[in-house]
Amino acid sequence: MRQPKFIFITGGVLSSLGKGLAAASIAALMESRGLRVTLQKLDPYINVDPGTMNPLQHGEVFVTDDGAETDLDLGHYERFTHVCMSKKNNFTSGSIYYSVITKERRGDYLGGTVQVIPHITDEIKSCIRGAVDDFDLMIVEIGGTVGDIESLPFLEAIRQFRNDVGRENVLYIHVTLVPYMKTSGEVKTKPTQHSVKELRGIGIQPDILLCRTEKNLSTDIKAKLAHFCNVEPDGVITAIDVESIYEVPIQFHQEGLDEKILRLLNIWTRTPVLDPWEQLIHRLKEPAYQVRIAIVGKYIDLTESYKSLNEALVHGGAAHSTRVLLDYVDSENVEKEGGEALIEGADAILIPGGFGQRGVEGKIKAITYARENRVPFLGICLGMQLATVEFARNIAGMEKAHSMEFDKHTPYPVIYLMREWFDYKNNQTIRRDENSDFGGTMRLGAYPCVLEPQTFASQAYQQPEISERHRHRYEFNNEFRDILAGHGLRFSGLSPDRNLVEIIEIPDHPWFLGCQFHPEFKSRPMEPHPLFKAFVGKALEEARKKRPEDFQKECIC
């Protein structure tokens, strides 16, 4: 078996420099050259996974097919490549220590003293090896910033890794900041010098520097960084700010990053095929039209909370050569008198997933507006559940209908905690109640769904059965299925045993659809998710009716 190659990506100076995007873009370049590439994220925080972390602090939780709740960077990995992430592609300090402590309690260490070195570092290296499978190249991103105490075991593990598999099989890339000082008109190299010094003090000499900057780095600046950081001059790469994240692979290629990586790792490949990326950038930068979509939620202060959702809408727009303008509307403000004015100008309305009662009535109010004014509507997860509540209240006459998540004593619990359901992934029946572990009450990962013919869903997917990823606790209550259907609610997607409602629609509407799953997790720039493609298409039709003067030329999509 051929020895796989490894790239370890670290970050310095400060957080949020884009290590995840850098890793994803490098993977895209290597994949375009014909290599089989996979990625992994190692996070230093003590949480076992990000499932219970506040989205405002950590961003969205990205869910994989196998039901792992992971870091949002895994979303970047999937969107930029063809690889499908799983639970072995994301580990945290919490999960590493949990595994080691479990082994110690079981007696696996034969009474020895359990220490950070070698036990924790060996566990980290085992997790890295366990994810490489039959890939040619594995890119491992180390979360956090060099100098943070919690990331030290990960850095020590990847330092050892080069000795374990051979120097020619490991490459270290350091993402750093080269700030531009407007007052003096200079770019400053000192933060990068100190960051590399910190890294070298741990025993890791970076081979390549990815320098985040507002300005192109001159040859002199690159030479200075190379000299003080002990890297080759062509190993200093300008990672300049770009308009769209999908420009990054092309920008890296223009800087010669892929050629440098191949030379250092002694890999021979074909010439990269970047035409699809260039065509995508053209559609994003020079769209024929634009639409405005209102996203009514409660995590609007940080767009990272809806990262995959935002990107899926961009993908759907690109499929129609359309720029999608996103209006983030706080659902609590919609609750107020006259709050509908915040969404009146939207060409479509979207209610995303979420947890907690805050802003729920504002979301229901926005759903009422979309239904009554025939505005294209997409409800995702909680959005689908609240669309059911709104329909039950205002169409089916169940005035106090609600989800039991928010009202335990509602006389019409149209959304409730299902006590028993079939887990298609593991071929077993799951039982749960309010006393189950918080994570144990969730339906997580990919589940099959059978589509009813001649529905919005079937028209979008163009296939009879689909598989989508879930992350929710409450389900549609089947006791109310017949009465809601009698009032016109259509159940267009059901589990194969017809026990779980996955998609609801209002057929007497231009396009009104709610789905229990999260379609945004499976959307990719060159392969837009069918529901987002259809949703943006309907928003485009709405915009054409309202602003015909903007649609004089034919759509080139």
- What amino acid positions are annotated as catalytic residues? 381, 518, 520
Q: Using DSSP, how many helices (H) and how many strands (E) does the chain show?
A: 18, 25
Q: Which two tokens stand for residue 19?
A: 């290590």
**How is the beta sheet containing 475-476 ordered, strand by strand?**
402-403, 413-416, 475-476
Q: What does the alpha-carbon distance between residue 460 and residue 455 come to, in Å, rounded to a whole number?
A: 9
Partner residues linked to 468 by β-bridges: 447
Element holding 491 (H helix, E strand): strand 490-494
Residue 406: how many CB atoms within 10 A of its CB? 16
3-state secondary structure of 389: helix
Residue 257: how many CB atoms within 10 A of its CB? 24
3-state secondary structure of 399: coil
- Residues contacting residue 238 through CB under 8 Å, at least 6 positions apart: 211, 213, 216, 217, 222, 255
- Residues contacting residue 375 through CB under 8 Å, at least 6 positions apart: 346, 347, 348, 349, 369, 510, 542
Q: Where are the alpha helices (DSSP H) in 175-295?
A: 190-202, 219-229, 248-254, 257-265, 275-285
